[in-house]
Amino acid sequence: MRLHKAEKGFFEHIFADPRLANEAVNLVPVVNMVTQSGAYIHETISSLCDSGLAPSLEVVRVSLESKEVGSSYLPALEECNVPKASGNDIASIRYYAELILGISNRNNILAIRDELNMVTSDEFDPIDVKEYILEMLDDAVNVEYRPEHLAGLVADELFGEAREHFSTGRFFPELDKHFHGGLEPGRLTFVAARPGIGKTAFSLKLAYALARHNDRAALFFSLEMPRQEITQRLYSILTKMDYEEMIRRKEGLLDDPNSLYHKAIKHLRDIPLYVHDEPSLTIDKVKFITRSMIPKGLGVVVIDYLQLLNMQMSKNQTRDQAIGEVTRKLKLMSRELKIHVVCLAQLNRDVERRYSEEPVLADLRESGTIEQNADAVLFLYKEKGEYRYDDGSVPVKLKIAKNRSGPLGHIEYKFYGKQTNFKEIVPSSF
């Protein structure tokens, strides 16, 4: 994706005098950059500044070339010409920074217009729509993230309230440990697997556990299955009944008020878990629906799955770039709305051709942009072979391949395919 003219001018004057880079990147938060290419180059320059390096054009080029993802942004970088240092480059940088912020505000307002076009009077209360418009406009023209003195941040960390985490309770205790108590708001996690491993079942139980054990609601976007099937799968998880058998006996189970099925229905009425099953959603509509759920105490969103979202690719945009734009918007949504987003994704076929089927980050479809924007990447996989436990379950491993909130590692599960259920294997204490 090519740079916007304002981004091009902004970077060119940084390259003219790299000593100004640190001040320059602080003038424009990365979330306000106009294009994905601009955001990635901005992040690269910021990282170089943090490392004590002067981000000249050549240094930035070498940094991009050293990364699999970065190399795809080299054509955008090559658009930049380095002007001769004028002694007034900071004024030019500030000029282009104001242009970028203005464009960002305008784009945000246009996004509000597009989202509002999706609203019909039958779907939303007019008062809710009015409050939504005012909130969105406030977000669109204000930058929330401003410099804060380190002393205040340290004081908050030492003496303030503990940071919020969403625990899974007794369902996934080892997963909670790897995230220091649970999933944190403002974070984006990807759960990836090949078809048939059970990523929908895993994520559905995860959403249920998070909705049950926290004072926050969970929202499950099902782009592949209708809500009725999702609900039946959840009943199967709760009752530990075989899914197909439960469907056959459904009428009799409903007639028996003492059946586990009947009890599961009553139990779920008290769990703040919501399902939206509209197929071919765009990322903007996902954000609109998610925002409308914030008044209900929304804390977690699960999307099943990334590649089924409507990418709305522009004429000159590649699939990789479209995926990058979507994952970037998911990350921004998690931070803006202070929720945790779990997005499912498919692995490519390469993992099945190797001797070991343990996935690596490169096995993600459109892996570069997903890896770049994710705070955590989890892989579900089975080793080669047909081994089963005595209870009929099969061993499935969860590999934590990236984790900004804690350690990497592996967690073992039993997968009960007929019950669409996962059970964590707690490690022995000796």
CATH number for the domain harbouring residue 249: 3.40.50.300
Which of these ranges, 137-146, 272-281, 393-402, has the smallest mean pLDDT? 137-146
- DSSP β-ladder status, 394-403 and 409-416: antiparallel
Token couple for 101: 């912020």
Q: Does 85 fall in a domain?
A: yes
How confident is residue 365, by pLDDT bands cut at 50, 70 and 90? low
Q: What is the spatial distance between Cα 10 and Cα 17, in angstroms, rounded to a whole number?
A: 11
- CA-wise closest residue to 145 among 301, 32, 37: 32
Question: Does position 192 have pLDDT exceeding 70, yes or no?
Answer: yes
- CA-wise closest residue to 290 among 342, 328, 325: 342
Structure-token match 């779920």, residue found = 268
pLDDT tens-digit series, residues 109-121: 776 666 666 554 4
How confident is residue 402, by pLDDT bands cut at 50, 70 and 90? very high
How confident is residue 128, by pLDDT bands cut at 50, 70 and 90? low
Bridge partners, 189 (sequence order): 342, 376
Token couple for 42: 């901005």
Q: What is the spatial distance between Cα 426 and Cα 319, in angstroms, rounded to a whole number?
A: 40
Asked if residue 94 and residue 13 are part of one domain, the reply reads yes
Q: Does 137 fall in a domain?
A: no
Q: What is the spatial distance between Cα 61 and Cα 351, in angstroms, rounded to a whole number?
A: 31
Bridge partners, 190 (sequence order): 343, 377
Which of these ranges, 102-111, 157-166, 406-415, has the smallest mean pLDDT? 157-166
Asked if residue 184 and residue 48 are part of one domain, the reply reads no
Residue 302 domain boundaries: 173-424
Asked if residue 182 and residue 103 are part of one domain, the reply reads no
Q: What is the spatial distance between Cα 416 and Cα 242, in angstroms, rounded to a whole number?
A: 9
Asked if residue 213 and residue 102 are part of one domain, the reply reads no
Q: Which letter does DSSP use for residue 31 in this model?
A: G
What is the pLDDT at residue 261?
Answer: 75
Domain boundary among 89, 112, 135: 112
- CA-wise closest residue to 33 among 107, 93, 91, 83: 107
Single-letter amino acid, residue 368: G
Q: What is the spatial distance between Cα 265 and Cα 235, in angstroms, rounded to a whole number?
A: 7
- High-pLDDT (> 90) share of the chain, %: 18
Asked if residue 394 and residue 276 are part of one domain, the reply reads yes
Summary mean pLDDT of the chain:
81
Q: End-to-end CA distance of the chain: give it in Å, rounded.
A: 54
- Per-position b or e across 98-114, b if 16+ CB within 10 A of its CB: ebbbebbbeebeebbee
C-alpha dihedral sign at 241, 246, 252, 256: positive
Domain boundary among 62, 83, 112: 112
Asked if residue 191 and residue 91 are part of one domain, the reply reads no
pLDDT tens-digit series, residues 70-92: 677 888 888 888 877 766 678 88
Question: Does position 238 have pLDDT exceeding 90, yes or no?
Answer: no
Q: Does 75 fall in a domain?
A: yes
Q: What is the spatial distance between Cα 424 and Cα 264, in angstroms, rounded to a whole number?
A: 21
pLDDT tens-digit series, residues 342-361: 999 988 877 777 767 788 88
Q: What is the spatial distance between Cα 80 and Cα 17, in angstroms, rounded to a whole number?
A: 14
Plot region of 380 (φ>0 → left; ψ -120 to 50 → alpha; else → beta): beta
Question: Does position 366 have pLDDT exceeding 50, yes or no?
Answer: yes
Rounded to an integer, the average pLDDT of 218-231 is 90
Q: Does 27 fall in a domain?
A: yes
Q: How many domains are contained in the chain?
A: 2
What is the pLDDT at residue 130?
Answer: 58
CA 238 to chain centroid, in Å, comes to 27
Q: Which segments within 237-360 are labelled E, that is strand?
A: 273-276, 298-304, 340-346
Question: Does position 303 have pLDDT exceeding 90, yes or no?
Answer: yes
Structure-token match 């008044």, residue found = 295
How confident is residue 204, by pLDDT bands cut at 50, 70 and 90? very high
Q: Does 223 fall in a domain?
A: yes
Q: What is the CATH number of the domain that holds 13?
A: 1.10.860.10
Q: Is 221 helix (H, G, I), strand (E, B) or coil?
A: strand
Q: Does 346 fall in a domain?
A: yes
Domain boundary among 87, 112, 137: 112
If one compares 276 and 155, the residue with the highest pLDDT of the two is: 276
Rounded to an integer, the average pLDDT of 197-214 is 91
Asked if residue 282 and residue 207 are part of one domain, the reply reads yes
Asked if residue 178 and residue 67 are part of one domain, the reply reads no
Q: How many residues does the chain have?
A: 430
Q: What is the spatial distance between Cα 387 and Cα 430, in angstroms, rounded to a whole number?
A: 25
Asked if residue 365 and residue 256 are part of one domain, the reply reads yes
Question: Does position 250 have pLDDT exceeding 80, yes or no?
Answer: no
Q: Which letter does DSSP use for residue 151 in this model?
A: H
Q: Does 395 fall in a domain?
A: yes
Asked if residue 382 and residue 243 are part of one domain, the reply reads yes
Q: Does 126 fall in a domain?
A: no
- Per-position b or e across 183-194, b if 16+ CB within 10 A of its CB: bbbbbbbbbbbb
How confident is residue 134, by pLDDT bands cut at 50, 70 and 90? low
Question: Does position 220 have pLDDT exceeding 70, yes or no?
Answer: yes
Asked if residue 73 and residue 178 are part of one domain, the reply reads no
Structure-token match 């002393």, residue found = 151
Asked if residue 316 and residue 226 are part of one domain, the reply reads yes
What is the pLDDT at residue 175?
Answer: 92
- Mention every residue, 6+ apart, whose C-beta is less than 8 A from residue 256: 262
Q: What is the pTM of this model?
A: 0.66
Rounded to an integer, the average pLDDT of 139-166 is 56
Q: What is the spatial distance between Cα 15 and Cα 56, in angstroms, rounded to a whole number?
A: 5
Strand order across the beta sheet in which 394-403 lies: 273-276, 217-222, 298-304, 340-346, 188-193, 376-381, 394-403, 409-416, 421-424
Rounded to an integer, the average pLDDT of 182-189 is 91
